[in-house]
Amino acid sequence: MIRTGARIAGQFLQPRSVATAAQRAVPHVEVRVGRLPQSQSPFVPKLQFFNSVTATGQQIPTYRVMDGSGSALDGSSMPEIDEATARKIYEHMVLLPTMDTVLYNVQRQGKISFYMTAYGEEATVVGAAAALEPHDEVLGQYRESGVLLWRGFGLDNIMGQCLGNVEDTSTKGRQMPVHFASREHHFYSISSPLATQIPQAAGVGFALRRTPGRQNSIAVCFMGEGAASEGDFHAGLQMASTLPCPTMFIVRNNGFAISTPSTEQYHGDGIASRGPGYGIDTIRVDGNDVLAVLSAVKEARKRCLEQSRAVLVEAMTYRVGHHSTSDDSFAYRARSEVEDRKKIDNPISRMRRFMEERGWWSAKEEEELKARLKADVMKAFKRAEGLSRPSLTELFDDVYAGQEPWTIKEQRSELFGLLKKYGQAWDPWKKELGKFKNGGQDLIDAGK
């Protein structure tokens, strides 16, 4: 882009001093012997191309603390964890797929319109949630319901949103299922456009830094490796690093963006390799090792707050489920590959074995937990299923704050008038009206 603003205004600018941070950091004498104003890079006489972020040309390593069977690795930096915390983490790791299974199945039965499971990513989402403070502002993509569960959002609110009923405080029945929002739980409104939350998270971090009483909170932004290809990824990391903003970016690298394997998403060393390019402290972690995620995110949070600057965590995991209920993933990957992954590297069984080794868990408790959680989820679903949709007037509310524009006011009246005229005569409307609060009667009355 050519910017000729100054010239257009007829105001020729004085050449600006372009002393960069790098230049300021370099002693004057070194500048004279040869350094560039925008870099601290030394000159070399040999022709040499560079294509790695590590000194040895290897890939960025993946941090893990327990092996595939839940045993601590030799010399691993284990997070300090007591039995109560371990049990809470494990319970939520089991609750997430229990809830997913029920909601996936009711979608198949046509009782909700859409759903997305987090199968295989339980350790990444729950481990991160456990490492954060409850007042950290979370901006998610859509596969992070586990954070809300961890924060006590409750199954009734989950069901309310997915069914779009009168208890849907997240969206008042306006957004598709799994698009949660809760101010109370510091969980920002999910939207479908990918990666838009990334630069927003930079702004949230910057605002927190400037909010009295919130200087101990950070912004946490989740995304998948596919979303990291969007321009907003570049924008968001660049801004959070440069301005700077206490914002943690957590990438769930689960190998697929719908059908596109990560090999077709990028040619570099995953997402983590990009972090240093932005000057961001970065770690790659085994996303199926909940204790490694816990430990990495805790440390990342500490750095984020101390430096008031972005940090990047890439959690390597595998999307065991289909992308969504509108997707059959066996059209582009072998069923056996998925089954193998579930067996070889299951984040939930790894954590269970870790706990069993310490005598913190037993087969009996496992049975009881599964039965209890399933009953809880079914109870919440059955209850939610019986509730009506919100008032039909909500269709027009909240577009604007303050005085309602004439457009909305007139269009609301137009629909009211049509409902009064045709509400009981036009079958597609008649059936729908019955699902709303008071059968839509408040609108029909208002149209009189």
Partner 1 sequence: MNVYQAVRDAMSVALTKDDTAVVFGEDVAFGGVFRCTMGLAEEFGRERVFNTPLTEQGIAGFGIGMAAMGHTAIAEIQFADYIFPAFDQIVNEAAKLRYRSGGQYDCGRLTIRTPSMSVGHGGLYHSQSPEGFFMGAAGLKIVIPRSPIQAKGLLLGSVRDPNPVVFMEPKILYRSAVEHVPIDDYELPLGVAEVLHQGTDLTLLSWGTPLYHCETALHMLQHPPPELAPHVPQRLRGAKIELIDLRTILPWDVQTVVDSVNKTGRLVIVHEAGATGGVSSDIGAEVQKRCFLKLEAPVRRVTGWDTPVPLQYEKFHIPDALRILDTIVDTLSY
Scan for tokens 């009168």, then name that residue.
166
Which residue pairs from 367-371 have beta carbons closer than 8 angstroms and sit at least 24 positions apart in sequence? 369/91, 369/94, 370/94, 370/98
Per-residue mark of binding to partner 1, 128-167 (x: CB under 8 A)? ---------x-x----------------------------
Q: Is 107 in the site for partner 1 (CB under 8 A)?
A: no
Nearer to partner 1, 18 or 29 (CB): 18
Between β-strands 260-261 and 281-286, what pairing exists: parallel, antiparallel or unpaired? unpaired
Which residue from 162, 163, 219, 338 is in contact with partner 1, where contact means CB under 8 A? Answer: 219
Measure the CA–CA gap between 23 and 26, rounded to whole angstroms: 5
Instruction: Identify which range of 31-39, 81-89, 170-178, 331-339 contacts partner 1 by CB under 8 A.
Output: 170-178
What are the distances in angstroms from CA 227 to CA 234, 255, 260?
11, 12, 12
Instruction: Based on the shown chain and the rule CB under 8 A, indicate whether residue 34 belongs to the binding site for partner 1.
Output: no
3 binds partner 1 (CB under 8 A): yes
Q: How far is the CB of 383 from partner 1 (least distance, A)?
A: 20
User: What mask, x for binding partner 1 by CB under 8 A, covers residues 383 to 402?
Assistant: --------------xxxxxx
Q: Could you give the string, one character per residue 403-432, with x where binding to partner 1 holds by CB under 8 A and - elsewhere?
A: x-xxxx------------------------
Q: Which of 207, 344, 371, 378 binds partner 1 (CB under 8 A)?
A: 207
The encoded tokens of residue 92 equal 């939520």
Q: How many whole angstroms from its chain centre is CA 177?
A: 15
- Nearer to partner 1 by Cβ, of 230 and 357: the residue is 230
Q: Restricting to residues 229-268, which ones interact with partner 1 according to CB under 8 A?
A: 231-232, 234-236, 238-239, 242-243
Applying CB under 8 A, the span of 8-16, 78-86, 288-296, 317-325 interacting with partner 1 comes to 8-16
Closest CA to 313 of 327, 294, 328: 294
Whether a cis peptide bond, with omega within 30° of 0, leads into 42 is no
Query: Which of 138, 198, 271, 384 lies at the binding interface for partner 1 (CB under 8 A)?
Result: 198
Among 64, 143, 179, 274, binds partner 1 (CB under 8 A): 179
Select 63 or 188, whichever has its Cβ closest to partner 1: 188
Number of residues near partner 1 (by CB under 8 A): 64
Decide: is 106 part of the binding site for partner 1 (CB under 8 A): no
Considering the complex, what minimum distance in angstroms separates the CB of residue 189 from partner 1?
A: 4
Residue 38 near partner 1 by CB under 8 A: no
Query: Which position among 165, 170, 254, 346 is part of the footprint of partner 1 (CB under 8 A)?
Result: 170
- Rounded to a whole number of angstroms, the minimum distance from the CB of residue 358 to partner 1 is 41
Residues within the interface to partner 1 (CB under 8 A)? 1-6, 8-11, 13, 16, 137, 139, 168-172, 174-175, 179, 181-183, 188-189, 191, 193, 196, 198-208, 210-211, 219, 231-232, 234-236, 238-239, 242-243, 397-403, 405-408
